[in-house]
Amino acid sequence: MINYFFRNQSIAIVLKYGIFGSLWVVLSDSVLEVFAGDFEIYKNLQTYKGWIFIFLTMIIVYILINKREKRIINATGESSKAIRELRHMAYYDTLTGLPNRAMFVSKIKNLVSSSRQKFAIAFLDIDNFKYINDTLGHYIGDDFLKFMAHKMSKEIKAPDMVARLGGDEFAILIRSFETKDILLNRLENIKNSIGNTWNSGSREFYISMSIGIAVYPDDGYDFDTLLKHSDIAMYAAKKEGKNKMFFYEEDIHYETIWHIQMANKLQKGLDCNEFELNYQPQVQLSTGDIIGTEALVRWNHPQEGYISPADFIPVAEITGQIYELERRIIKNVLIQKKKWEEQGLNDLELSLNLSGKSLISNSSFRQIEEIFSDYDVDYSNIVIEITETAAITHIDTAIERLNILKAKGLKIALDDFGTGYSSLTYLRRLPIDIVKLDKSYIGNGDKKDISIIKFIVSLAHDLGIRVIAEGIETIEQYDYLRTIECECGQGYYLGRPMYIDELNELLTEKFEQK
């Protein structure tokens, strides 16, 4: 009860006043008698006692009220600081300090409802950010994002705005521009202000980003449409080979949406481990023996069923998901190779397809090398299949890396031979052991095709390169290829791609027949 009275500030003041007043009434006369020995002085002081009382109570009441006011000011100050902090958290990104998605949404919605003026949204995505995060860890990845945010916020000032939408995605609002060229120029300046490289410790990274642009009101009347369209344009830019800027256009729409959906499905597929391997036999044509197998990735999507690698590998290459996918495939293949070695099948060659992207990318290649050094298998029976189109783009790097793999004992096969441009040059320059003749030559027994096959087989033999003919579907094709001394073949006639159990059965059958 007493506690309650003292905690209630107003009652406390009144109580304190009451206590002081009572003490005054009870004690003031006695105190006065002690100090004023003389009656005359006592009488004079009595006259002033009332004034002294008023003066003292004024001071006390002032002190009490002042104390209370200060407390109230402090308390409201603290709570408005807390409110400010909450507001900041709701509208700003904690990592970079930039406005966040919510802030950006509200800004664009305001603009759409309040002005009829043109503005643009640029959707910016850092190319290969996943690399930095995957190879160097999240802390370094975060540093990079902070660096980007810092550079952009220095360049982009109100009424324009830059926000972090999440992950490595940023959105830029550009308000006044007369033409698309001026807008592009402005974005180019922003890119230049970020620079081409970023250093972390002793490492230097090349900065590359894809930007998609949507303009209000041409490309959409509301926030969602504008953002979706700038995202589609960004994706189209990425598809064109990254480090590009694209305006949204109607006709990029459908194909790109298909790609975006595929990329999302791929991510779920990776998260849920939906990928498996099939193995297709490779046969020595003179004896009919299985001498090797090619690992082919299979994706049995939980809702859509089988999705062909010819459909999803190109998308995975654009998004960079190929690196993760290929690392998993390589690990699986090496585990399988080890099992075969333990079963005594040491000589069985195991081929795997390596995307040109994985070969050329520094960090991806480094990780692949690490995987190879983690598994103790006989690498002289592992074959890496690459396509010449992949090798052409960075021929010197490709040669250097293929030589590194060869030094570990691996063999190199040039896949889909004959479908690229200047195959013969690459036959000479690339350090290859095997040529895989593309199935389009084997197909229909066309006279010209037959001459080409004959020529390629003899040329390869002169260069000390083995030939594997792909896509053998009939006994006629099989017989013919044998007569021209093509040593190996692969195709539905010799064996379809199959799951490992099926292949193992086939291998034991063949083994027992011997």
Contacts with Ca ion, residue ranges (CB under 5 A): 353, 385, 415-416, 470
Among 51, 32, 28, CA closest to 42:
32
Q: Is 149 near ligand C2E (CB under 6 A)?
A: no
Which range binds ligand C2E by CB under 6 A, 142-150, 195-203, 306-314, 334-342? 306-314
Q: How far apart are CA 464 and CA 494, in angstroms?
A: 25
Which of residues 323, 489, 497, 503 is near ligand C2E by CB under 6 A?
A: 497
Q: How far is the CB of 364 from ligand C2E (least distance, A)?
A: 12
Q: Is 388 near ligand C2E (CB under 6 A)?
A: no
The strand ranges marked E within 82-208 are 119-126, 161-166, 169-174, 197-200, 203-206
Question: Considering CB distances under 5 to 8 angstroms, the limit depending on partner class, which of ligand C2E, Ca ion, none binds residue 492?
Answer: ligand C2E
Residue nearest to ligand C2E (CB): 491
Collapse the DSSP code of 351 into the 3-class scheme (helix H, G, I; strand E, B; otherwise coil) and give the result.
strand
Which of residues 210, 280, 336, 477 is near ligand C2E by CB under 6 A?
A: 280
Which range binds ligand C2E by CB under 6 A, 140-148, 241-249, 308-316, 398-406? 308-316
Q: 229 vs 120, 126, 252, 319, 403, CA distance in Å? A: 11, 18, 10, 18, 44
Q: How far apart are CA 243 and CA 240, in angstroms?
A: 9
Q: Is 475 near ligand C2E (CB under 6 A)?
A: no
Question: Considering CB distances under 5 to 8 angstroms, the limit depending on partner class, which of Ca ion, ligand C2E, none binds residue 473?
Answer: ligand C2E
Q: Is 355 near ligand C2E (CB under 6 A)?
A: yes
Buried-exposed string 92-126: b where 16+ CB fall within 10 A, e elsewhere: bbeebebbbbebbbebbeebbeeeeeebbbbbbbb
Can you read off the two tokens belonging to residue 289? 């023996």
Q: How far is the CB of 327 from Ca ion (least distance, A)?
A: 18
Q: Is 62 near ligand C2E (CB under 6 A)?
A: no
The contact mask relative to ligand C2E for 204-233 (x = CB under 6 A, - = no) is ------------------------------
Q: How far apart are CA 69 and CA 508, in angstroms?
A: 92
> In terms of CB distance, is 133 or 336 closer to Ca ion?
336
Collapse the DSSP code of 328 into the 3-class scheme (helix H, G, I; strand E, B; otherwise coil) and give the result.
helix
> In terms of CB distance, is 228 or 357 closer to ligand C2E?
357
In sequence order, what are the residues at sequence separation of 6 or more whose Cβ sits closer than 8 angstroms to the Cβ of residue 503? 279, 281, 293
Cα 293 to chain centroid distance, Å, stands at 33
Can you read off the two tokens belonging to residue 498? 């199959």
Q: Is 391 near ligand C2E (CB under 6 A)?
A: no
Strands 349-353 and 305-307 turn out to be: unpaired
Q: 149 vs 193, 200, 203, 204, 481, CA distance in Å? A: 11, 16, 20, 18, 61
Which of residues 257, 296, 345, 500 is near ligand C2E by CB under 6 A?
A: 296
Q: Is 141 left (phi over 0), alpha (psi -120 to 50) or beta?
A: alpha
> In terms of CB distance, is 256 or 353 closer to Ca ion?
353
Q: Is 473 near ligand C2E (CB under 6 A)?
A: yes
Cα 238 to chain centroid distance, Å, stands at 13
Which range binds ligand C2E by CB under 6 A, 8-16, 196-204, 458-466, 484-492? 484-492
Question: Considering CB distances under 5 to 8 angstroms, the limit depending on partner class, which of ligand C2E, Ca ion, none binds residue 373?
Answer: none
Q: How far apart are CA 45 and CA 492, in angstroms?
A: 124
The strand ranges marked E within 224-365 are 245-247, 275-284, 290-301, 305-307, 349-353
Q: Is 309 near ligand C2E (CB under 6 A)?
A: yes
Q: How far is the CB of 298 from ligand C2E (least distance, A)?
A: 7
Q: Is 415 near ligand C2E (CB under 6 A)?
A: yes
Which range binds ligand C2E by CB under 6 A, 19-27, 111-119, 486-494, 499-507? 486-494
Question: Considering CB distances under 5 to 8 angstroms, the limit depending on partner class, which of Ca ion, ligand C2E, none binds residue 168?
Answer: none
Q: Is 502 near ligand C2E (CB under 6 A)?
A: no
Which of residues 174, 313, 368, 413 is near ligand C2E by CB under 6 A?
A: 313
Which range binds ligand C2E by CB under 6 A, 160-168, 245-253, 335-343, 487-495? 487-495
**Count of residues that bind ligand C2E according to CB under 6 A:** 20
**Which spans of this chain sit near ligand C2E (rule: CB under 6 A)?**
280, 296-297, 308-310, 313, 329, 353, 355, 415-416, 439, 471-473, 490-492, 497
